[in-house]
Amino acid sequence: MPVVLLTGFEPFGGQTVNPSWQAVQRLAAAWDGPAELVTLELPVDFRTAGPALAEAVERSQPDLVVAVGQAGGRPDVTVERVAINVDDARIPDNGGFSPVDEPVVPGGPAAYFATLPVKACVAAMTAAGVPASVSQTAGTFVCNHVFYQVMHELAGRSAGGPVARGGFVHVPFTPEQAAGTRHPSMTLDVITAGLDTIVRTSLSTGVDLRVTGGTTH
Amino acid sequence: MPVVLLTGFEPFGGQTVNPSWQAVQRLAAAWDGPAELVTLELPVDFRTAGPALAEAVERSQPDLVVAVGQAGGRPDVTVERVAINVDDARIPDNGGFSPVDEPVVPGGPAAYFATLPVKACVAAMTAAGVPASVSQTAGTFVCNHVFYQVMHELAGRSAGGPVARGGFVHVPFTPEQAAGTRHPSMTLDVITAGLDTIVRTSLSTGVDLRVTGGTTH
Amino acid sequence: MPVVLLTGFEPFGGQTVNPSWQAVQRLAAAWDGPAELVTLELPVDFRTAGPALAEAVERSQPDLVVAVGQAGGRPDVTVERVAINVDDARIPDNGGFSPVDEPVVPGGPAAYFATLPVKACVAAMTAAGVPASVSQTAGTFVCNHVFYQVMHELAGRSAGGPVARGGFVHVPFTPEQAAGTRHPSMTLDVITAGLDTIVRTSLSTGVDLRVTGGTTH
Amino acid sequence: MPVVLLTGFEPFGGQTVNPSWQAVQRLAAAWDGPAELVTLELPVDFRTAGPALAEAVERSQPDLVVAVGQAGGRPDVTVERVAINVDDARIPDNGGFSPVDEPVVPGGPAAYFATLPVKACVAAMTAAGVPASVSQTAGTFVCNHVFYQVMHELAGRSAGGPVARGGFVHVPFTPEQAAGTRHPSMTLDVITAGLDTIVRTSLSTGVDLRVTGGTTH
């Protein structure tokens, strides 16, 4: 049975919850799919998130890694296309650290593309009534940092052995978080259905769909 | 026991459902509050929506009228502050009619303010975790038209008797409608919780809250 | 020769300039149209803006009044359709006053429609390459307050005499104001061209165009 | 005297002009800075834009390459941080070609970072009153394609010789393009001032500023 490592984040930015970790827990509690799910809550911390992720990969030896983070203000579940090798923090992380234009991995490649079937995941969520789209940027904060670390870790391990797939998914605020703001929101039920669809689609899709998910700018 | 008339709309604009009527039906099915609920599905039709509404008011003699409509693209439940005496259709209604700058009621006042406790409704929804805000415009399509008709009807009936309250509420697309677009969405569960809160708050609030719900422009 | 009263506002909300007054001054400096232009800078103050406006109307006896205000965040020149009889301040005015849900004019009608040829103004600006649209709400701050006062003043004076036209126009931030934010902007040249078009169109248009400027919500 | 290659694009997407090329021409006509400016209009064509760019680089041997493109809908001048090795066309290019998930350069790195002083350029524009920001994605259309080609070309030429700097800048619609839509706009004067600032800043800045230009997602 394949092993799936699913990560969410702790709260940050003044929030008391993080829907990424809430939804990961929900999915794990209800999971009955064709894989073993391993879950992990990551710190919103540039310095400790990467080692925690690497340690979990080492321990669980996953075939698939889906890291999930909160993107407050986005209206839909976004499957990220590319992680870039830069940390540029607009706000401090939970450890009070604000790197500016430093590499995630010194000497690492400028970027990694997700190896999830990004287009198939978006198409499957759309068919299931879950608002979703491809995103061309995961930002430059801890989400992009972890996304890059995931891909870097999997790239390093793939040499000579079977290749594990990985990627990153951003999810909206929940209604409880959005109440009192005018941000869009999505219930944990819908977010969890989206993550369930992403995991199942990634397990069952060999070759990604050739449909556009691009933007002109 | 007070009587509450709650209306939703039929689908329009290429949609196959209208969350306003879906949520009104859900609320009615689960309703256990201190009032009798009467529901009505209105046509998205400038010429027939008003008479249908008036007939229902005549029949049910409501103490409270809450008309609900779909505002695709808005992220939250919006309680409308004011109805204006103009029809200006950017798209044809379901009857193919596109009035431009015609009065809803010839000779009627330029506008009516909602007589719901607008601020208390928004505050109660926010406290309940339902994203909500005050809206300063209900547009110039059939929603505003019906809102104006509701207030005109209630104003006419109030002479010499007890005054019924009325207002209008716009709700977002559901996830199923928003999937494949990048519009924000809200599940029927959350929308229905919002309507439930609005009805209960309107029944129990004598004097509205004095909190701002304004905009600088 | 007809008399046109053109008003702008002083800065507010932490800004050091207000493009409405800057553009009014520019227009006046370059004006060569078929009317006498009288200009006035109004305070962003609920209590003193109305009397200042009324005094200027009394003094200049205008045939046309166009009040102009700043709408930071809007991308285009918006011609307002309707002024509503409510003050609801989200931020204090320059006098520190924050009315909530108080009438602009106690006992006044719920709203006044602009008597400018709103659609013709928008069409003429669009044809001239000035981004413009109809707005269904002027908000609930000092701009709406002054707009309501203008229309109330003109309605009161029209009894028994020739009717003066009036309305309100919102303009975007300038590039200098928007720099460092991600707000849209418009140069004073373009804003001034828009105001010039509005004044000339209002002077020369007897019957407004029957083209839609509506919204579905 | 250093040589600067400045490129714009031909119109696309139903437009009759492209402000990127209009502004490049304006800048060249008024240029009095400490460099020789070479300009080039590129086709919006995945198959021919790259060779045209490479030929111009070969011919002019630039010390600095700034490619400029139109980003209709963005409110400000955006300096792009990263080019990614993927073509994913949401609309066909001017040659009718719509690649989906194909590499810009087969076997090329996943991404290149701009070697312009991105933060210094944004800071200088902001100080000059030109709305500007850092962008984390240039999209997946011909703009990103050319940006990637620029960086790939310069990377290839840098081996063993002095390193030329390069990058990509997106500019908004002009008011003439935006009129009749509700898109934000920027006059050619302001766009040209922005490009002038970028070229001068890139020529005079050795080490980029360490200020944030990041996003949380």
CB of C213 less than 8 A from some CB of B = yes
Tokens read off for C148: 């309501």
**Beta pairing class for A87-88 and A100-102:** antiparallel
Query: Cα(A10)–Cα(A138) distance, rounded to whole angstroms?
Result: 17
Contact residues on chain B for A119, CB-CB shorter than 8 A: none
Mutate to test the interface with B, among A16, A173, A185, A192 (most CBs of B within 10 A): A185
pLDDT digits (tens, 9 = 90+) for C175-213: 999 999 999 999 999 999 999 999 999 999 989 999 999
CB of B15 less than 8 A from some CB of A = no
Q: What pLDDT does residue A110 have?
A: 98
Q: Is the pLDDT of residue C161 over 70?
A: no
The C residues from 116 to 135 touching D (CB cutoff 8 Å) are: 125-133
Q: What pLDDT does residue D152 have?
A: 97
Contact residues on chain D for C128, CB-CB shorter than 8 A: 179
Query: Cα(D211)–Cα(B84) distance, rounded to whole angstroms?
Result: 49
Q: Which of C121, C143, C145, C153 is catalytic?
A: C143
Query: What residues form DSSP beta bridges with C171?
Result: C70
pLDDT digits (tens, 9 = 90+) for C124-150: 999 999 999 999 999 999 999 999 999
pLDDT digits (tens, 9 = 90+) for C19-49: 999 999 999 999 999 999 999 999 999 999 9
CB of D106 less than 8 A from some CB of A = no
Instruction: Identify which of C13, C138, C212 has the shortest CB distance to residue B90.
Output: C212
Contact residues on chain B for C215, CB-CB shorter than 8 A: 90, 137, 139-141
Instruction: Identify which of C113, C139, C208 has the shortest CB distance to residue B136.
Output: C139
pLDDT digits (tens, 9 = 90+) for A81-131: 999 999 999 999 999 999 999 999 999 999 999 999 999 999 999 999 999
C194 CA: distance to closest CA in chain D (Å): 11
Under DSSP, the state recorded for D106 is T
Residue of A nearest to B131 (CA): A179
Q: What pLDDT does residue B206 have?
A: 87
CB of C13 less than 8 A from some CB of B = yes
C-beta atoms of B181 and A131 within 8 A = yes
CB of C101 less than 8 A from some CB of B = yes
CA torsion sign, A117 to A122 to A124 to A130?
A: positive
Distances (CA, A) of C210 to B137, C163, C205: 21, 21, 13
Contact residues on chain D for C127, CB-CB shorter than 8 A: 179
Tell me how many residue pairs between chain C and chain D have CB atoms under 8 A apart. Answer: 72
C-beta atoms of B129 and A179 within 8 A = yes
Domain A3-204, CATH homologous superfamily name and number: Peptidase C15, pyroglutamyl peptidase I-like (3.40.630.20)
Residue D121 catalytic?
no
Q: For residues D187-211, give the mean pLDDT.
A: 96
Q: What pLDDT does residue A206 have?
A: 87
Q: What pLDDT does residue D25 have?
A: 98
Which residue is listed with tokens 């119109």?
A: D11
Neighbours of D103 (CB within 10 A): 15
Q: Reduced to 3 DSSP states, what percent helix, strand and coil does chain B have, rounded to the nearest 5?
A: 35, 25, 45
Closest CA to A129 of B74, B12, B27, B16: B16
Residue of D nearest to A89 (CA): D214
Q: What's the order of all strands across the beta sheet hosting D3-9?
A: D36-42, D3-9, D64-70, D165-171, D77-80, D132-135
Contact A196, A207 (CB under 8 A): no
Q: What pLDDT does residue B163 have?
A: 81
Query: Cα(C94)–Cα(B42) distance, rounded to whole angstroms?
Result: 46
Tokens read off for A88: 């540029």
CB of A139 less than 8 A from some CB of D = yes
CB of C68 less than 8 A from some CB of D = no
Backbone φ and ψ for D42, nearest 5 degrees, come out as -95, 150
Query: Cα(B124)–Cα(B121) distance, rounded to whole angstroms?
Result: 5
Residues of chain B whose pLDDT is less than 70?
Answer: 158-162
Say how many CA atoms lie within 13 Å of D23 toward its Cβ: 33
Contact B211, C140 (CB under 8 A): no
Q: Which of D36, D58, D80, D153 is catalytic?
A: D80
Closest CA to D64 of D7, D138, D2, D112: D2
D19 CA: distance to closest CA in chain A (Å): 15
Residue B143 catalytic?
yes
C-beta atoms of D178 and C125 within 8 A = no
Query: Cα(D180)–Cα(C26) distance, rounded to whole angstroms?
Result: 25
Chains that touch D (3 or more CB pairs under 8 A): A, C
Residue D145 catalytic?
no
C-beta atoms of A215 and D137 within 8 A = yes
Q: The pTM is what?
A: 0.96
Q: What pLDDT does residue B162 have?
A: 67
Query: Cα(D163)–Cα(D154) distance, rounded to whole angstroms?
Result: 7
CB of A45 less than 8 A from some CB of B = no
Q: Is the pLDDT of residue C159 over 80?
A: no
